[in-house]
Structure 1
């Protein structure tokens, strides 16, 4: 168990918030090719915590780039928006992915100094269906200078605003915490009966992949016929995601005989 001192020290980490239930998000999370645990995070929300830390690998991408890729893949693979929260010793921020639209993000320096575009915050409010007056005002506060609010406090403030939409993170799952702390907290939440991507059998995920290929190929062909590059791109992404998933190996559910 990580000590309190270890958790308080500057660390690098991330978690993803999906606007969907664990039973629908968990199978799609298998397509990321990165082991993750999922747990319910209030009404209509799921939190995902990676089991690994690919940003630590030699020559690996920064954490914000890694989670941007994850969020984009999850958003394309399902009908929900995905909000990725990330942090490292020098910065913290978030990235919102929704369908095939361009992801938007915001960032703070470690001390809490905003370095993002205000338009990104307004886009987040719109895509998550937040109140255009009250919730947007609360988000705007996070974009203003405040010497008493560091980057971690800004992320916690963002979660507090999203609580108005039903988001409730499991106990111990706090933005800015170390990855070991987050994993322990998620395991405890999953142990209480929430869904876990590791318990989903391959055929369930493969069926989803077949649907993606079945939708993507005709969409791409129709886009070529109608000379619509956007349809070609969208269909190609769906077909590619489904094909990659079909080629992946998936474990049997826990307790299944070998």
Structure 2
């Protein structure tokens, strides 16, 4: 975490980089991917994607989309249909906080004002600990301390305290990303479809990629994606629109894949 940057973000994935890569490519955003300790990976946005593409529109009278909303949408898009949670850490000149996304469950988050004043719900920390499999006593006590007033801790210090708790699970953020990071690039739709299907087969739904269960899952993704995309469009939130579109795309691909596999001899 660059303490000197006025605006920034990290995406921490509770899995290895090889599992993150194919899903991260579908975001179609410039990202750097690197290992971050045993069972952890980190994605770092290149540039300022929550401002760069939106700054011009903001200059035309449309308000720029805040970093927390964009990163929350990205985390949700990465976590949907995966076996691993995604933690988005973000900070700007006024606030700092996190959003934790895990599958289809409602994301949980917490916010601190710039001076470190807690501005979230205490229950969020307990949910955070539960979804990441943290110690229900020691780790929860450390997390709850971050929700109490502390005149000596600003928002960045609160995030560092959060990361300190996660180091007990093996998280180890690299000191620098230039040497060890891999640039995530959009491979094009043909390869994206292939890696997306591969990601589905390697997920918890792997045994269900064909047949009635596969069709039920695909139908649920379509049903959930449309209202999510419409809700994001109504709020002019590109991140949530993308999450909805990704859900619909995965559902459509699932139905198409099931039909193609059934149409081939022996299901091959």
Provide TM-score, normalisation by structure 1: 0.74
For the 8 Å contact 2:30–2:46, the answer to whether it is kept is yes
- Structure 2 residue 223 is the aligned partner of structure 1 residue 233: yes
| 8 Å CA contact retained: 1:37, 1:48 | yes
**1:66 corresponding residue in structure 2:** 70
Q: Does 1:38 align with 2:33?
A: yes
TM-superposed deviation, 1:51: 1.3
Unaligned runs of 5+ in 1: 1-6, 172-184, 246-258
Report deviation, 1:189.
Answer: 2.4
Please name the residue that 1:53 is paired with: 48
Partner of 2:116, secondary structure, is: coil
Measure the CA separation in 1 of the matches of 2:95 and 2:129: 22
- 1:141 corresponds, among 140, 145, 161, to 145
23, 43, 59: which one pairs with 1:28? 23
Cα contact 1:28–1:77 (8 A) shared by 2: no
Question: What SS does structure 1 have at the residue aligned with 2:147?
Answer: coil
Query: Are the counterparts in 2 of residues 86 and 92 from structure 1 also a CA contact under 8 Å?
Result: yes
> How does 1:215-230 map onto structure 2 within 5 Å?
215=209, 222=216
Please point out which of 117, 125, 128 is paired with 2:121. 117
Residue 189 in 1 paired to residue 184 in 2?
A: no
Cα separation, partners in 2 of 1:102 and 1:66, compared to 1, 3 Å: same
Aligned residue for 2:106? Answer: 102
Deviation at 1:8, TM superposition (A): 5.6
- Secondary structure at the aligned position of 1:188 is classed as coil
**C-alpha distance in 1 between matches for 2:225 and 2:209:** 7
Q: How big is the shift at 1:154?
A: 0.4
Matched-pair contact (CA < 8 Å) for 1:21–1:44 = yes
Cα distance in 1 for residues equivalent to 2:26 and 2:6: 27
Structure 2 partner of 1:252: none
Structure-1 residue corresponding to 2:235: none
Residue 204 of structure 1 deviates from its aligned partner by 5.8
Contact 2:11 2:43 in 1 (8 A): yes
RMSD: 3.3
Contact 2:81–2:104, Cα closer than 8 Å, also in 1: no
TM-score by length of 2: 0.71
The CA deviation string for residues 175-215 of structure 1, in whole angstroms up to 9 with x for no partner, is: xxxxxxxxxx322222xxxx543497976643232355995
In structure 2, C-alpha distance between the alignment counterparts of 1:68 and 1:216, rounded to whole Å: 31
Q: Distance in 1 between matches of 2:147 and 2:249?
A: 35
Q: CA deviation at 1:233?
A: 3.3
Q: CA deviation at 1:68?
A: 0.3
